[in-house]
Structure 1
Amino acid sequence: MLLSKGQKIDVTKGKTLSNISLQFGWLSDSRMSIDASCFILSNNNRCEKDEDFIFYANPNALGGAITHIQVGGVDKEAIKICLSKLPDSATKIAFSLTIHEGEKYGYSMKDVSNMYVKLMDAERNEELFCYEYGSDLLKETAIVVGELYRYNGEWKFNAIGSGFFGGLEALCTNFGLVVEKEDSQEIIKIEEKPVFSSIDLRKKIVQITLEKKKMSHVAARVGLVLDISGSMQPLYKNGTVQEVVERILAVACKFDDNATLDIWIYDNEFSRLNAATERDFDQYVVRNILNNNNIHKFGRNNEPPVMEDVIRKYTIEEDSSIPAFIIFINDGGVLKSIKKVIAEASLKPLFWQFVGIGDSDFEVLKKLDTMEGRIVDNANFIHIKDIASVSDETLYNQLLNEFPLWLKAATDKGIIYK
């Protein structure tokens, strides 16, 4: 099975699987030094001690539960994992690829091709899936390839492929470690300062909102679609859109099994971006949108193509019984053709929460509740003139107002299952 970026897949569910191997391969100039590694993470997404960073200079961890080895042949390096030996404290393992001193020698990920990771049943030497990544990267010198994480007592894999600038040091900082250079040797040390505190309060507010609406046990995949047409340009540059990403990420952290927020942007074209997490939401808009020359921005609006891609991701690429909660931010009129897309999607486990911002009249969106031709009402619209001035409590209450009604209706119709 070939995975796509952002796809999550069961690894152990329904299988007798105790020993796995993640095998990394790539093509590059022989003068480049490229290394695979992994970080053992706790519940707060931190690498709690330097021994939990496994790479060529620290090849073994947890009494041999995880081993880094060099591989001959097409595969370059491998990380072998004995799942039965992993302690309960190891809730997630993040896998990475770095170019050693890439900035110093002028190398970056655009100089590397055919990057992949294969997950193997190590006992049977059987390939379970392969993830090819990195073709969208340019000047980055490190990649978070993917994550192996626990969910309901089973292991799943999340295909990420997110690039970082700054090589090993950037990766370590991302996971709560500090790289200090001493006599030309890299020394990994724990960073003592707290991390991710800026989103903790919002997660608590979301939790309170969910409890009030009797939704504290609901699981959902969360997607955010952002209008990036010309009229939105000031909101991207003044930080309003970044704030929206952070506020919606808090919802994803409470709903999604891997605490990730899937993100799309659109004008007359659309792009599916790297998912946002608690580790990398800071400056997300600057890094992934404003400084990204590979995406189209500040054109005219055209909603149906991006909506169809959202549907494709959640119902074809990642078909699942877990519903998807899609928050759609728009600051002006949408095309009337979205009604056809919404009507056809009413049979799917997706709920569309449209949020109109600014002074437009939103004529089409105001009529969503009276749309005909749907098996259930699968869309809602709220108008928030100045989203930056609305409190988190008010925003979350409005965002989550009709979602529970749809959950019940969709369950009654057999669209989703308890």
Structure 2
Amino acid sequence: MNLLKGQKIDLTKGSNLSNLHLQFGWTFTKSGLSIDAACFLLSNKGLCEKDEDFIFYGNPSSEGGAVKHLPNQGADKEAIQILLPKLSERTAKIAFTVTIHDAERLGHRMKDASELYVRMLNGDNGQELFRFDYGSDFMNETAVVAGELYKHQGEWKFNAIGSGFHGGLAALCTNFGLEVEEDAEPEVAAAAASENVSSLSPIDLRKKIVQITLEKKKLTGVMARVGLVLDISGSMQNLYKNGTVQEVVERILAVACKFDDNGTLDVWIYDNEFSRLPSASENDIDQYVQKHVINNKNIHKFGRNNEPPVMMDVIRKYTVEEDSPLPVFLVFINDGGVVKPIKKVITDSAVQPIFWQFVGIGHSDFEVLKKLDAMEGRIVDNANFIHIEDIASISDEQLYHLLLNEFPVWLKEAANKRIIRK
């Protein structure tokens, strides 16, 4: 069903819908543009009662987990999940918005984007309930209220709004009763957004993009050890040979350069066996995979999957061999077929200062990894999963946004539980 502007639609009346996914998409017609989706949880007065009711990349989960800002899935750019039974009684309405990042300084406007849409899915089965294309008439606006979910006589309905705002995110926050501090973008953002990037090396450019992502997610000043676990089972063989895995190592190294005090990336590979590789750094990243994996006869390659042994070695390194108060951001690349015992390892390690960011690549269903958020018996949610079918085709900006989306939430919860220092 395609909605028209101003159209309202019943969602829960006569149905058992409880898990909703709002998927956002757009196309850029001007380079350097960055758009972010968000939502505001509103009372019956039409206002946010507290700052935590603004859900966006910097605060990706509401209290109790009823609303979550999710990484993109498939062709959509960003997504927001709403679990209706978990919503607070004081939430009468949820406004869904998109804004252009740093629009005023960079001179970007909504006319620089096209094909803006939002579509709602049944989160339990992936069925599309409706789609609303709202982006054809905008000119100099820098923010849009795409639509709103609202409660009427005990049932939830959706209103297709498509209303533009001038003044970007600050204007939206003011409209919904929140105060916003002036956001002074650092010089590094201006450098990365400028067109004069031809003189930068790939790693330097990626570090600047990581810095912008850290600014957006309020992670500047955070120190963390960074590790990377790479699947080297049989189905990964072509990705090693065509340079995709080398590119992955280089992209994650840029994160380590910003988080880690010594700018190094710890690396493991595994199939049914595992190996610790020499740490990667800017000085030796060239041909890293060729030298340390493909040409290394001591490395077991292209067997079957067995994740728990390498995960236990990760835990051993960071909690026994190199015990430190610094948290660990661990990126785990897998192309499907993980064994179910990883759930016990993740549950048992929830008391440790390790956040597991799983990245599924390729076309497997990732049944086990998709259920990470629903795993019970943990003091904190210490793992996240994102699915990227073709990791070679996703931009650095998108990749870093997805990788770092849940890490801030874990840092806060882990600090509250004294798993890491505040």
Q: TM-score of the superposition, structure 2-length normalised?
A: 0.53
Partner of 2:337: 333
After superposition, give the CA deviation of every residue in 1:76-109 in whole Å (9 maximum; x if it has no partner).
Answer: xxxxxxxxxxxxxxxxxxxxxxxxxxxxxxxxxx
Change (3 A) 1:393 1:196: closer
What one-letter code is carried by the residue in structure 1 that aligns with 2:406?
A: E
Structure 1 CA distance for aligned equivalents of residues 395 and 200 of structure 2: 20
User: Is residue 267 from structure 1 mapped to residue 271 from structure 2 by the alignment?
Assistant: yes
Partner of 2:407: 403
Partner of 1:293: 297
Structure 1 CA distance for aligned equivalents of residues 375 and 286 of structure 2: 38
Contact 1:327 1:353 in 2 (8 A): yes
> Cα offset for 1:198?
2.4
After superposition, give the CA deviation of every residue in 1:182-208 in whole Å (9 maximum; x if it has no partner).
Answer: xxxxxxxxxxxxx99220000000000
Structure 2 CA distance for aligned equivalents of residues 406 and 272 of structure 1: 26
After superposition, give the CA deviation of every residue in 1:98-134 in whole Å (9 maximum; x if it has no partner).
Answer: xxxxxxxxxxxxxxxxxxxxxxxxxxxxxxxxxxxxx
Structure 2 CA distance for aligned equivalents of residues 372 and 282 of structure 1: 42
Structure 1 CA distance for aligned equivalents of residues 337 and 205 of structure 2: 33
Structure 2 CA distance for aligned equivalents of residues 198 and 369 of structure 1: 34
Structure 2 CA distance for aligned equivalents of residues 318 and 280 of structure 1: 23
Structure 1 CA distance for aligned equivalents of residues 264 and 201 of structure 2: 17
Contact 1:224 1:328 in 2 (8 A): yes
User: Which of 220, 234, 240 is the equivalent residue of 1:236?
Assistant: 240
Structure 2 gap segments, 5+ residues each: 1-198
User: Which of 349, 358, 361 is the equivalent residue of 2:362?
Assistant: 358
User: Is residue 412 from structure 1 mapped to residue 416 from structure 2 by the alignment?
Assistant: yes
Contact 1:209 1:397 in 2 (8 A): yes
> Cα offset for 1:291?
0.1
Partner of 1:380: 384
Which runs of structure 2 are paired with 1:198-277 in the superposition (5 Å)?
A: 198-277=202-281
Structure 2 CA distance for aligned equivalents of residues 205 and 292 of structure 1: 32
Structure 2 CA distance for aligned equivalents of residues 339 and 294 of structure 1: 29
Structure 1 CA distance for aligned equivalents of residues 316 and 201 of structure 2: 34
Structure 2 CA distance for aligned equivalents of residues 412 and 373 of structure 1: 17
Contact 1:368 1:381 in 2 (8 A): yes
Which runs of structure 2 are paired with 1:1-400 in the superposition (5 Å)?
A: 197-400=201-404
3-state SS of 1:293 partner: coil
Contact 1:196 1:279 in 2 (8 A): no
Give the total of aligned pairs.
225
Structure 2 CA distance for aligned equivalents of residues 380 and 211 of structure 1: 21
After superposition, give the CA deviation of every residue in 1:133-184 in whole Å (9 maximum; x if it has no partner).
Answer: xxxxxxxxxxxxxxxxxxxxxxxxxxxxxxxxxxxxxxxxxxxxxxxxxxxx
Structure 1 CA distance for aligned equivalents of residues 321 and 303 of structure 2: 28
What one-letter code is carried by the residue in structure 1 that aligns with 2:375?
A: M
Contact 1:263 1:275 in 2 (8 A): yes
3-state SS of 1:395 partner: helix
Structure 1 CA distance for aligned equivalents of residues 377 and 274 of structure 2: 27
Partner of 1:136: none
What one-letter code is carried by the residue in structure 1 that aligns with 2:353?
A: P
> Cα offset for 1:405?
0.1
> Cα offset for 1:333?
1.7
Partner of 1:139: none
After superposition, give the CA deviation of every residue in 1:242-272 in whole Å (9 maximum; x if it has no partner).
Answer: 0000000000000000000000000000000
3-state SS of 2:237 partner: helix
After superposition, give the CA deviation of every residue in 1:269-312 in whole Å (9 maximum; x if it has no partner).
Answer: 00000000000001000000000001100000100000000000
After superposition, give the CA deviation of every residue in 1:327-350 in whole Å (9 maximum; x if it has no partner).
Answer: 000001200000000000000000
RMSD between superposed Cα atoms in Å: 1.3
Structure 1 CA distance for aligned equivalents of residues 290 and 402 of structure 2: 27
Structure 2 CA distance for aligned equivalents of residues 229 and 390 of structure 1: 23
Contact 1:266 1:303 in 2 (8 A): yes
Change (3 A) 1:366 1:358: same
Q: TM-score of the superposition, structure 1-length normalised?
A: 0.53
3-state SS of 1:326 partner: strand
What one-letter code is carried by the residue in structure 1 that aligns with 2:400?
A: Y
After superposition, give the CA deviation of every residue in 1:225-253 in whole Å (9 maximum; x if it has no partner).
Answer: 00000000000000000000000000000
3-state SS of 1:352 partner: strand
Structure 1 CA distance for aligned equivalents of residues 356 and 261 of structure 2: 20
Contact 1:196 1:278 in 2 (8 A): no
3-state SS of 2:314 partner: helix
Structure 2 CA distance for aligned equivalents of residues 279 and 238 of structure 1: 22
3-state SS of 2:278 partner: coil
Structure 1 CA distance for aligned equivalents of residues 317 and 336 of structure 2: 25
